[in-house]
C-alpha cells in the first residue's frame, strides 16, 4: 500500500453509532449522522445508517449527490443554509435543509414547485454561538411565513452550540430551545416535528439524567467518527477513538546538533542557527504536509514529538529511537485533521471492515477486508 493513507475501520464507525443510538433512544432522541468531515463518503455513511442513524446530514450538496449516486435513499438534511445558486440541487437531493433567511426559503419553495415536490425547512435559532441563526424574537414571524408558502413545509427548529464562539450548551439552553418550540407551535400550529438540539457538543447534556424537554434529535459527526467530545477533546466512554488512523512514511532520519553559525558576510545572517536549541536529537521527515492534513491536529505516538510542517514535509523529533527510512508512523487525528485528510486527493483512503465486501474483494489483512478507493 502507498502512503500517506487514511485507514478507516467501518466496523468501529458502525459500533460508535450504535452505542450512541442506544444511549439516546431512552431519552427520545434520534441520531442524524453528519458526513461532512468525510466528504459524504458513501461507505462511511452506510456504516452510520447500519449503526442506527435515522438519517444523514451534510453541508455540501456535492457530498449529498455523491451519496445518492451510491444508492443511499434515506432522508438527508442540508445543515448549511443553502446557497441561492444551488437551490435546485438542494431540493432535488435533500428532503430538508436548515435555514435562516426568508429569501432563500422563498427560492427553495419556488424550486420545489418546479420539481413537483415539497421541501422541508428546519429554522435555525441563534442561541449564543454567533454563527448562523434567526434571533429568537423573530422566529415565530419567519415560521408563519414558511407555513404560508407553497412548496415548503415547516419541519422543526434547531440550534448550534460550541461551533464558533459559544460555550457548550447547558440544561437551561435546552429548556429555552424547548420553550421556543412551544411558542412556535402556539403561533403556527403543531408543525414542529423536529427539535434538533445541536451536535456532538450536546452529548454531555443529552446523556445526563435531566429532562430532555422537546429536544428529540442530535446531529452527530465527531462523536461517531472519532469517539471524542468536541468541547473537551476527551474520549467518550465506550466509543472507539481509532476508527480513522493516518499512515505516513519516513523519508529522512538524521541526528542533528545545534549547527555552528554560518560564515556569511552579513553579521545578522551569520548569527543564525539552522536548528536553534536542538542538542543531538534525532529528527525525521514524514512524507506528508499541510496539503494533506492539519498537522497541528495530529496525535503522535509516544516518544515522537511534532516539530513543524510545511506544504509537503512534516518534521518530528525522537529520543533514543531513530525512525527507519521507509517505515511508517501511525498518527491519530482530531476533527480538523480528519476533515483535511479526507478532502486531500493524495491521501489514499483504505476501508477495513469485519464484513466481507459485496463485490467479492476479500483479501484480508489482520482478519479484516480492505478496499482501496
Least confident of 141-145, 179-183, 329-333, 368-372: 368-372
User: Residue 17 contacts by C-beta under 8 Å, 6 or more apart in sequence?
Assistant: 31, 33, 47, 48, 50, 51, 52, 53, 220, 224
pLDDT digits (tens, 9 = 90+) for 260-277: 455 555 665 555 445 444
Predicted confidence at residue 176, as pLDDT, reads: 97
Give CATH for domain 9-226: 3.20.20.10
Predicted confidence at residue 364, as pLDDT, reads: 31
Predicted confidence at residue 281, as pLDDT, reads: 77
Q: Which pLDDT band holds residue 361 (cuts at 50, 70, 90)?
A: very low
The CATH number corresponding to 244-372 among 2.60.40, 2.40.37, 1.10.3470, 1.10.287 equals: 2.40.37
The domain spans of the chain are 9-226, 244-372
Q: Are 222 and 228 in contact (CB under 8 A)?
A: yes
Q: Which pLDDT band holds residue 307 (cuts at 50, 70, 90)?
A: very high
User: Residue 213 contacts by C-beta under 8 Å, 6 or more apart in sequence?
Assistant: 174, 175, 177, 178, 195
Above 80 in pLDDT, residue 257?
Answer: no
pLDDT digits (tens, 9 = 90+) for 215-231: 999 999 999 999 999 99
Q: Judge residue 363's burial from the number of C-beta atoms within 10 Å of its C-beta, 0-12 exposed, 13-18 middle, 19 or more buried.
A: exposed
Above 90 in pLDDT, residue 182?
Answer: yes
Q: Are 370 and 357 in contact (CB under 8 A)?
A: no
Above 50 in pLDDT, residue 183?
Answer: yes
Predicted confidence at residue 197, as pLDDT, reads: 96
Predicted confidence at residue 278, as pLDDT, reads: 46
Above 70 in pLDDT, residue 358?
Answer: no
Q: Which pLDDT band holds residue 256 (cuts at 50, 70, 90)?
A: confident
Location of C-alpha cell 531513530: 322
User: What's the mean pLDDT in 205-216?
Assistant: 93
d(CA 227, CA 150): 41
Least confident of 179-183, 208-212, 216-220: 208-212
- Sheet strands (E) in 297-354: 298-299, 304-309, 314-318, 328-333, 348-352
Amino acid at each position: 500500500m502507498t502512503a500517506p493513507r487514511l485507514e478507516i475501520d467501518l466496523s468501529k464507525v458502525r459500533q460508535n453509532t450504535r452505542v450512541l443510538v442506544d444511549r439516546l433512544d431512552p431519552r427520545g432522541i434520534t441520531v442524524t449522522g453528519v458526513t461532512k468531515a468525510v466528504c459524504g463518503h458513501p461507505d462511511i455513511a452506510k456504516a452510520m445508517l447500519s449503526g442506527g442513524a435515522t438519517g444523514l446530514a451534510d453541508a455540501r450538496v456535492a457530498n449529498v449527490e455523491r451519496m445518492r449516486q451510491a444508492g443511499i435513499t434515506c432522508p438527508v438534511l442540508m445543515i448549511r443554509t443553502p446557497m441561492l445558486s444551488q437551490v435546485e440541487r438542494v431540493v432535488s437531493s435533500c428532503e430538508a435543509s436548515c435555514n435562516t433567511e426568508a429569501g432563500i426559503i422563498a427560492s427553495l419553495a419556488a424550486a420545489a414547485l418546479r420539481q413537483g415536490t415539497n421541501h422541508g425547512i428546519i429554522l435555525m435559532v441563534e442561541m449564543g454561538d454567533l454563527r448562523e441563526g434567526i434571533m429568537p424574537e423573530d422566529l415565530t414571524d419567519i415560521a408563519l411565513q414558511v407555513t404560508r408558502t407553497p412548496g415548503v413545509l415547516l419541519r422543526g427548529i434547531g440550534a448550534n452550540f460550541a461551533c464558533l464562539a459559544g460555550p457548550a450548551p447547558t440544561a437551561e439552553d435546552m429548556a429555552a430551545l424547548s420553550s421556543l418550540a412551544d411558542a412556535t407551535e402556539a403561533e403556527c400550529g403543531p408543525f414542529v416535528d423536529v427539535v434538533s438540539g445541536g451536535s456532538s457538543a450536546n452529548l454531555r447534556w443529552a446523556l445526563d439524567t435531566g429532562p430532555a424537554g422537546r429536544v428529540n434529535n442530535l446531529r452527530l459527526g465527531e462523536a461517531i467518527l472519532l469517539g471524542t467530545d468536541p468541547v473537551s477533546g476527551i474520549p467518550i466512554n465506550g466509543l472507539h477513538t481509532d476508527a480513522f488512523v493516518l499512515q505516513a512514511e519516513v523519508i529522512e532520519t538524521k541526528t542533528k546538533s545545534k549547527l555552528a553559525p554560518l560564515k556569511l558576510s552579513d553579521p545578522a545572517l551569520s548569527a543564525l542557527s539552522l536548528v536553534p536549541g536542538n542538542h543531538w536529537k534525532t529528527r525525521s521527515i514524514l512524507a506528508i504536509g499541510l496539503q494533506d492534513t492539519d498537522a497541528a491536529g495530529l496525535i503522535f505516538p509516544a516518544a515522537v514529538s511534532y516539530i513543524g510542517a510545511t506544504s509537503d514535509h512534516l518534521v518530528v523529533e525522537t529520543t533514543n529511537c531513530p525512525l527507519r527510512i521507509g517505515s511508517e508512523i501511525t498518527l491519530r487525528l482530531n476533527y480538523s485533521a480528519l476533515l483535511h485528510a479526507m478532502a486531500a486527493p493524495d491521501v489514499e483512503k483504505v476501508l477495513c471492515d469485519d464484513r466481507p465486501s459485496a463485490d467479492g474483494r476479500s483479501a484480508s489483512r489482520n482478519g479484516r477486508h480492505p478496499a482501496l478507493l
